[in-house]
Amino acid sequence: MGAGVFADEQLEVLELVRSLARERIAPRAAAIDASHEFPWDIVELFREHELFALLFDERYGGTGTGTLLMLATIEEIAKACATSALILTVQELGALALKLAGTEEQRERYLPQLASGERLAAYALTEAGSGSDSAAMLTRAVRDGDDYVLDGQKRFITNAGVAGLYTVFAKTDPAAGHGGITCFLVEAEMPGFEVLRLEPKMGISGSTTGELSFDGVRVPVANRIGAEGEGFRIAMRVLDRSRPGVAAQALGIAQGATDYALEYARTRETMGKPIGEHELIAAKLADMETQCEAARGLLYRFGQLVDSGVEEAALTKPSAQAKLFCSDVAMRVTTDAVQILGGYGYIREYPVERMMRDAKITQIYEGTNEIQRLVIAREMLRAATSRASA
Ligand SMILES: Cc1cc2nc3c(=O)[nH]c(=O)nc-3n(C[C@H](O)[C@H](O)[C@H](O)COP(=O)(O)OP(=O)(O)OC[C@H]3O[C@@H](n4cnc5c(N)ncnc54)[C@H](O)[C@@H]3O)c2cc1C
C-alpha cells in the first residue's frame, strides 16, 4: 500500500525510511537481539535523519507531517527490527501527555529536545501490583511548597535508564481511586530517581524494560501536567493515541515475516518444486498477506482520522481495534512464517524466530488484548445506548 494513501512528499519520506531500514537497520537486527544492548547507534541514525521530528509539530522542531506518516514510518522500521521501531513508538508514548495536556511553557521547554532526539522519553504507569488496574497504583505524590515529593516504584518501564524524561503517574489523593491520580514530568537527573534493575525478556531484547524507584524525588509544581486528579484521564487519552504505535510495530513485524517467508517459499524446493507451489504453503502465504493488508487498513484509517482532526472521543474504538487486530495478526503470521521455514524457522540464523518472539509483546503492552476487547465492547455499548435513547 502506498500510492493513493500518501501524498508525494510523504512517499519520499517513506522511501528514505525504507532504504535506512534495508541498508542500516536490518543488518543490525540480529546483533541487537543477541546482545541485549540498547542500540544507541540506531538512535544516532534517527537523529541524523531527523526521524524523531516526524512525531512533532513544526513549532516544536518537528516536521508537522502527521500521524499517518509516523505510523507508516514505524511500520517500515519494524519490518527490519522491532526493537528499533520501538524507539520511535516510545518517544511518542512518552511525549503524548505533554502534547495533549501540557502548558505552552512545558511544551516549549521539553518538546524540542524530544523532536531532535537529544532526550529520549518514557511513560511510567505500571507498577508491580497495578498493570491493567491503574487505580491500584501505590506511588505517592505529596505537595510540599512549590514541589511535589514522589515516593514509590514503577515496573516494566520501556526506555528505563536510557530516557532523559519520564511521564510519571502518582496518587495525590489515595482515597479517590482513578480520580486521585496526577501526571508529572520527571527528569532523569532529579535526585532520588533511580533505575533499580532491567528485566531480561523474551523479545525486543535491545529495548530496556526496567524498574524505576522514586525516593523523595522533588518535582516542581511546574512539572505537573494538567490538574491534580486529572492523571488517569490523561493516561487514557495518551493510550488512545499511542496504541496504534504498537499496532504499527506489530504490522511491520508481520509484514517483515511474510516477506521473508515468501522469498523462502519461492526458492526452497521439496518434492521437485518450490514449497510455495505446494497448496498448503501457498494458502498460508495468502492468509498471511491478506491479514497484513486488513491490519494495515485499520491502522491507516486511524492515522487518517487523527490527521483529519476528528474529536478525541471518536479515537478510542479505532485505536483499540488497530492495536488488537495488528498484534493478533503479528502473532499468527510470525508463527506461520516459522512453520513455512520448517526446521530453519526455529534456528537463530533466520530472522523469523526473532520476529515471533518480538510479536508476542505487542499483544501485552499498552493494555493487553483482553483490555482492548473490553474497551471496544464498552464503546459499542455506549454508542448503542445513545442511539437507543435518541
Ligand atoms: C516489555 C514490556 C514493556 C512495557 N512497557 C511499559 C511502559 O513503557 N510503561 C508502562 O507503564 N507499562 C509498560 N509495560 C507494562 C504493561 O503495559 C503491562 O504489563 C500490561 O498492561 C499488563 O499488566 P500486568 O502485567 O500487571 O498484567 P495484569 O493486569 O495482572 O493481567 C494479567 C492477565 O489478566 C488479564 N486481565 C486483567 N484484567 C482483566 C479484566 N478486567 N478482564 C479480562 N482480563 C483481564 C490480562 O489481560 C492478562 O492476561 C510493559 C510491559 C512489558 C512486558
Encode the chain (390 residues) as per-residue pLDDT tens digits: 556 899 999 999 999 999 999 999 999 999 999 999 999 999 999 999 999 999 999 999 999 999 999 999 999 999 999 999 999 999 999 999 999 999 999 999 999 999 999 999 999 999 999 999 999 999 999 999 999 999 999 999 999 999 999 999 999 999 999 999 999 999 999 999 999 999 999 999 999 999 999 999 999 999 999 999 999 999 999 999 999 999 999 999 999 999 999 999 999 999 999 999 999 999 999 999 999 999 999 999 999 999 999 999 999 999 999 999 999 999 999 999 999 999 999 999 999 999 999 999 999 999 999 999 999 999 999 999 999 998
- 230's CB contacts (< 8 A; 6+ apart) are 101, 182, 183
DSSP of 58-126, one letter per residue?
GGGTS----HHHHHHHHHHHHHH-HHHHHHHHHHHHHHHHHHHH--HHHHHHHHHHHHHTSS-EEEE--
The per-residue pLDDT for 140 is 98
Active site residue: 105, 366, 370, 379, which one? 366
- Determine if ligand 1 sits within 6 Å of the CB of residue 364: yes
Cell of 185: 514530568
Alpha helices (H) in 133-227, listed in sequence order: none
- Determine if ligand 1 sits within 6 Å of the CB of residue 368: yes
Closest atom, ligand 1, to C-alpha of 122: 8
The per-residue pLDDT for 4 is 83
Ligand 1 pocket: which of 93, 199, 365, 369 to mutate (most atoms within 8 A of CB): 365
pTM of the entire predicted model: 0.98
CA–CA distance, 351 with 189 (Å, rounded to integer): 38
Other C-beta atoms lying within 10 Å of the C-beta of residue 14: 17
The residue nearest atom 26 of ligand 1, judged by CA position, is 131
* 370 Cα: distance to centroid of ligand 1 (angstroms): 10
According to DSSP, residue 205 is labeled T
Q: State whether residue 268 is helix, strand or coil.
A: coil
- Determine if ligand 1 sits within 6 Å of the CB of residue 276: no
- Determine if ligand 1 sits within 6 Å of the CB of residue 123: yes
Ligand 1 pocket: which of 156, 328, 366 to mutate (most atoms within 8 A of CB): 156
Phi–psi pair at 281, nearest 5 degrees: -75, -40
- Determine if ligand 1 sits within 6 Å of the CB of residue 198: no
Please indicate whether residue 366 is annotated as part of the active site.
Answer: yes
